[in-house]
Chains A and B, each alone.
Chain A
């Protein structure tokens, strides 16, 4: 099956710093989503981005489908950004299962 790798596995930032999280995938995909799992365990949709670039406030994401990677940028990080960030891809037909990466655990300190 498709492999999804995320880096770095762990990241500690001071509040206000910027960061880039990376997601590599081993095959072409027709869906890629970024999620944030907050400290309470909830999975929050951040982006649906199989290709191109999107921005939402302090977050933005870019997927280069031909090179099989996606980047999530967090600018001016805040303590509420802490948690685990997951990338997930779907290779099959529309509305099939998502394959998740191992996640990047982010801790933002004061």
Chain B
């Protein structure tokens, strides 16, 4: 069974540009989460989808971040426009309905110059 996959693995962009990160959860997992780790700090929650609906988006830092999960399958996280402080590693995780264990993808390392 394939794990959670994320694309790209690494992205380097200029301040003010737009970047879109993609996450493909484990097949059959209705729960999808986005987290990020910036500046060597702890990993922080961004938002949680159940199928295509946003269950909890309390961790989204501001309106420059837009997450979507059309059709309840893969998800995208768009940052527009990117700022220097957005640099970090963005992780996606998925889990089954009512399951407690979240499985994480390899992350996307975003560098904003």
Contact = CB atoms under 8 A, between A and B. Distances in A.
Chain B contact surface mostly? strand
B104 A43 contact: yes
Interface residues of B, number: 29
Contact of A97 (B42, B56, B91): B56
B100 A95 contact: yes
Interface residues of A, number: 26
Interface stretch (A53-61, A64-72, A86-94): A86-94
A28 to B, nearest CB: 14
Given A43-B91, A97-B48, A102 B107 contact: no
B89 A41 contact: yes
A62 interface: no
What are the 10 tightest A-B residue pairs by CB atom distance, in nearest-first order? A43-B104, A97-B45, A100-B43, A31-B100, A48-B101, A102-B42, A42-B106, A100-B42, A95-B31, A94-B98
